């Protein structure tokens, strides 16, 4: 393939080893290179970011405070270099309550489908959860117990399906208890890359009938059940116009470009969708054509006019205004 223009761009990337292994594939590096983009690793351990580069853009998935300080310092010295995305915006996804707050405020054009979140409560301490029934706010069992923190640790993906109050014994707050919604055993995973969205189907927990529920006790732990990309033919996809509106609504409301969200369809109401999880910088390498989608997005950012504010600048304006 020939380069689209003679200008070459340099994009710095910073991410943990697991992400480097999955995201930085030779097929992606080669494709980006053929279109004028050099992807350059950022040294996050031995050298400050401001001493590296020059970069035309920085992409990252590193969560500590030290990295955030480095990004802000880099951005103040290089105000025209886009940082994808702003650490404050990413931080909202590190808590399973704040991550879904944005869904409630979504506004978009007419669709016969609707989009909401399951009933949920946050439990800060074991004592209140076990002794005070009011903290459950009338939540209906079964519920899914999820660690409140969604901070990329293995622990943050250790979930449990809880069938009754006894099943809450031994859970370690802070946790979110979220009503389990029957959804036909399939989730829709929507990958968002700027204005682009792609929806794939993944296996999920099976439905639980009222009859079966009467026989189930306690809780069952599970983890990352929707991460394998199997083909699921028979389930109908949500309409693409609806997916695009939800994806765009979330992107604009969160001021984020690179994320995915997990959505289920309520088995008892075919037009009711529930967003259950939003992830920053997900496993894009599992998204078909990720090399071209990501390269198109990066070229779009790099070819923006300097007058178009970067993600970091935009957010700072919002915060100070
Ligand atoms: O590793 P992968 O490819 O399974 O990607 C994980 C994502 O899987 P998905 O693309 O949604 O199937 C995964 O999505 P889920 O939370 O499992 O829905 C997370 O985004 C995970 O990142 P983190 O551990 O939450 O920071 C992602 O892990 P990292 O690659 O960021 O470590
Ligand atoms: N409220 C819910 N109702 C039904 N299934 C759910 C619900 N919440 C989560 N799940 C199932 O559990 C999986 C993991 O939950 P999720 O919130 O996406 O956590 P993680 O961040 O570890 O992916 C989902 O992909 C889905 O299969
Ligand atoms: Mg998930
Ligand atoms: Mg997640």
pLDDT at 257: 98
pLDDT at 200: 96
C-alpha span between 188 and 118 (Å, rounded): 15
Tell me the three-class secondary structure of the chain, residue by residue.
CCCCCCCCEEEEEECCHHHHHHHCCHHHHHHHHHCCEEEEECCCCCCCHHHCCCCCEEEECCCCHHHHHHHHHHHHHCCCCCEECCHHHHHHHHECCHHHHHHHCCCCCCCCCEEECCCEEEECCHHHHHHCHHHHCCCCCCEEEEECECCCCCHHHEEEEECCHHHHCCCCCCEEEEECCCCCCEEEEEEEECCEEEEEEEECCCCCCHHHHCCCCCEEEEECCCCCCCCCCCCCCCCHHHHHHHHHHHHHHHCCCEEEEEEEECCCCCCEEEEEEEEECCCHHHCCCHHHHHHHHHHHHHCCCCCCCCHHHHHHHHHHC
Q: Which atom of ligand 2 is nearest to the CA of 224?
A: 22
Region label for 185, one of left (φ > 0), alpha (ψ between -120 and 50) or beta (otherwise): left
30 C-alpha to ligand 1 centroid (Å):
24
Residue 320 has pLDDT above 50, yes or no: no
pTM above 0.90?
yes
pLDDT at 321: 33
Q: Which residues surround ligand 3, an ion (CB under 5 A)?
A: 262, 277
pLDDT at 229: 83
279: exposed, middle or buried (C-beta count within 10 Å: 0-12, 13-18, 19+)? Answer: middle
Q: For 153-168, what is the mean pLDDT?
A: 96
C-alpha span between 61 and 258 (Å, rounded): 10
Residue 127 has pLDDT above 90, yes or no: no
**Residues with C-beta less than 6 Å from any ligand 2 atom:** 118, 144, 146, 150, 157, 159, 178, 180-181, 183, 187, 204-205, 224-226, 262, 264, 276-277
167 vs 306, which has greater pLDDT? Answer: 167
Closest Cα to atom 1 of ligand 2: 180
Confidence of residue 316 (pLDDT cuts 50, 70, 90): low
Q: What is the rounded average pLDDT for all residues in the chain? A: 93
Q: Which ligand is nearest to the CA of 278?
A: 4
Residue 62 contacts residue 44 (beta carbons within 8 Å): yes
In the chain, pLDDT over 70 holds for what percent of residues? 93
279 C-alpha to ligand 4 centroid (Å):
5
In the chain, pLDDT over 90 holds for what percent of residues? 84
**Residues with C-beta less than 6 Å from any ligand 1 atom:** 18-19, 22, 150, 152, 189, 224, 226-227, 260, 262, 277, 279, 282-283, 286
Q: Which ligand is nearest to the CA of 178?
A: 2
C-alpha span between 284 and 282 (Å, rounded): 6
Confidence of residue 7 (pLDDT cuts 50, 70, 90): confident
Residue 317 has pLDDT above 60, yes or no: no
- The CA radius of gyration of the chain, in Å to the nearest whole number, is 21
304 vs 221, which has greater pLDDT? Answer: 221
Q: For 128-136, what is the mean pLDDT?
A: 83
C-alpha span between 104 and 95 (Å, rounded): 16
73 C-alpha to ligand 3 centroid (Å):
33
* Least confident window among 39-43, 98-102, 127-131, 252-256: 127-131
99 C-alpha to ligand 2 centroid (Å):
14
């Amino acid at each position: 393939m020939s380069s689209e223009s003679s200008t070459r761009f340099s994009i710095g990337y910073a991410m943990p080893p697991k992400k480097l292994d999955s995201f930085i594939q030779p097929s992606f590096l080669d494709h980006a290179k053929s279109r004028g983009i050099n992807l350059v690793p950022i040294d996050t351990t031995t050298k400050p970011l401001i001493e590296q580069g020059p970069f035309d853009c920085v992409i990252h998935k590193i969560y500590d405070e030290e990295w955030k300080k480095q990004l802000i310092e880099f951005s103040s010295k290089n105000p025209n270099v886009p940082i994808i995305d702003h650490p404050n915006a990413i931080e909202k996804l590190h808590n399973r309550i704040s991550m879904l707050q944005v869904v409630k405020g979504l506004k978009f054009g007419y669709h016969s489908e609707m989009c909401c979140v399951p009933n949920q409560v946050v439990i800060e301490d074991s004592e209140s959860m076990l002794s005070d029934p009011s903290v459950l706010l009338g939540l209906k069992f079964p519920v899914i117990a999820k660690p409140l923190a969604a901070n990329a640790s293995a622990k943050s993906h250790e979930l449990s399906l809880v069938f009754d109050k006894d099943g809450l014994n031994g859970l370690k707050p802070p946790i979110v208890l979220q009503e389990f919604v029957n959804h036909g055993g399939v989730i829709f995973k929507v990958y968002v890359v700027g204005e682009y969205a792609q929806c794939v189907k993944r296996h999920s927990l099976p439905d639980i009938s009222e009859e079966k529920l009467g026989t189930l006790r306690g809780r069952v732990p599970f983890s990352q059940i929707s991460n394998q990309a199997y083909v699921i033919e028979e389930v109908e996809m949500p309409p693409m116009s609806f997916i695009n509106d939800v994806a765009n609504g979330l992107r604009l409301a969160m001021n984020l470009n690179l994320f995915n969200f997990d959505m289920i369809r309520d088995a008892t109401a075919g037009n009711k969708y529930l967003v259950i999880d939003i992830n920053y910088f997900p496993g894009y390498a599992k998204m078909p054509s990720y090399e071209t989608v990501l390269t198109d997005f990066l070229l779009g950012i790099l070819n923006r006019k300097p007058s178009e504010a970067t993600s970091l600048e935009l957010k700072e304006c919002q915060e100070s205004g």
